[in-house]
Structure 1
C-alpha cells in the first residue's frame, strides 16, 4: 500500500481503540496470521521543528546537524508507518498494551531533514513467546536517487514487540529460558527520570500510548505503573555517542520496564575500538532494565567519542 503522507499516530491509536472495543463487544477472534502488506510512504520529510524538539529533549537544546539527524529521530519519523500496520483490524495482535522487547538498527548513511525520503514498513516473524506472542516490525528509509541511480538505503530497523497473554490458534507456549543471576557492572552513570518523562517523549514523538502517560491507565493495561518509552531509553543511550555520517549499528534489548518516576543505574564499557556496550539496571532492586550496544563500522574511532554536532545529555 503506497501513499504520499504518513497516517498520524493519533489516528492509529483511535483505530486500535475502536478495534479493541469491537473485539470485546462481538467477541471477535483476530486472524492468526499477518496481513502480508507493506506500507510505503513516498516523499516523507523530517521537519526542522521536529529536529529542534528532539535536540531539546536529548541534547539539552544543543544544535544538531540537519544533514545528519540522530538515529532514534529517524525511528520517530518513520514509526507511524509501522503503527498503521499494527492498528489494522486484521493485525493478529492488539496494539494497546503491547510491550517493546528489542530494537536492531543499521544506520548506513546520514539521514537529512527536509529531504524527500521513502519509508517502508512491514510485519514479519509472528512467533509464540513464554509470555504471549511476538512480532517484528521492519522499517526501511531510502534517500532520493537520481535519473541513473536507485534510491540509497540510509537506515533500516527491526522492532520486536510482545502482546502479553495473547495466544494465537495452534500456538504452543515455549518453555521459559533460564537466566543466570544478574551481576551489575561498574556504575558509570545514573539517570533520574521524572514522572513527566513519558509525556515529554510523547510530545516529540507523537507516541501517546497510555502505558507511558498515566499510572492508572498503565495499570489498566497490565503494567505495574507508568513506564518509560523504550525509544526514549534508546535515545538517551545513543545521545552523544553516535558516529557522525552513519556507518554504524546499534541494538537495545529490554528486560524489565523503567517505572516513572525512577532512577536508572548504568554501566558504559568499551571492550574494543568502535564498540560501546551498555547495561542499565534498577540500583535498589538489582534488576536489569536493558542492555545495548553501539558499533562503529569505521576504524580508528570509538562511539564513546563526541562527534561534531552531537552534544550528550547530562547523565545525572
Structure 2
C-alpha cells in the first residue's frame, strides 16, 4: 500500500487522538502516505480528505475528542452512499482505511471491505462493548471521570444523609456502571446484563439504614432505565427520598488517561501493520494483555459479556 486513510466515526472517546497520531506516524515511518478523513463517513462521501504529516498530529495525544471530528451519516447506510464513498477513496488515491469507532463504525468499514476496499477497525468507545477485545479506547478515561463524580456526590450524600442515584452511559452494556460502582463503593449497581429486582434493592437500602448507614449510592446504567424513573419507583415503593445525577456527555470528554493513550497508540500502529500485510476486514483489540487482530464481523455477530464476577463481588462488599 502506498497511501492509506484514517477516520473517526460515532461517539467520540478520549484516546482517539492517540490512535490517529499512531496511524499517521506509523504510516510515515513505513514510507506510506496518510490522509485524514474529516467528519466520519459523511466527510468521506463529501470528499473532506486531507494529507497529514507528522507535525499535523503533534500535541494531540493529550487531548480528548477527535482531531478529525465525527458525524452521523444516514446516507452512508445506503448502497448509493457507499458507492460515493468508494469513488472518493479512489479519487484520492487511497489503498486502505483505518476506521476508529464502535460497532456502527465497524459495520461501515465492513461494508467498504465487501465492496473491495480494505478497512481495519480500531475500537474507540467509552462503552467498552466491542466483542473480541477486553478494552476499548476511552473506557478507562470515562471510568475515572465517573469515579471522580461518585466521590464528590458521596460527600454531599453523607452531609445530607440521602440516597443518590447516579446514571451513567454505556448503551446496552454495563461495564462502565459495573466498574465504576465497584471502584466507587456503590451500595447498588444496576446493569443490563442482570435482571433488575426492585424489592431486593429496597431491602438492601433498608438493611443499611438499620445498621446506621447515613447515605447510599446507586449506580444505574442507561441501558436499564433512566435515573429519574428509578427514583420514582423507589419513592413510590419505599418512601425513600432520593436525588438523581445524570452524568451525561461529561463522561466522553477530558484528557485521556495514560492507559487510553497507550491503547490508542498500540491499536493505531497495529492497524497500519495489518493494512500493510494486505488484509482488510480485520479489527484490532486487546486480549489477555496482548494486541490482537481478528475478523471484524465478530464485533457485530457475537455478544459482549460483562465480567459478572465483578457484579457478584460488588454485592458481597456492599452489605
Q: Which interval holds the TM-score relative to the shorter structure?
A: under 0.3
Highest relative contact order (Cα 8 Å, sep 6+), 1 or 2? 2
Please report the TM-score for the alignment, with normalisation by the length of structure 2.
0.21
Larger Rg belongs to = 2
TM-score when normalising by structure 1: 0.21
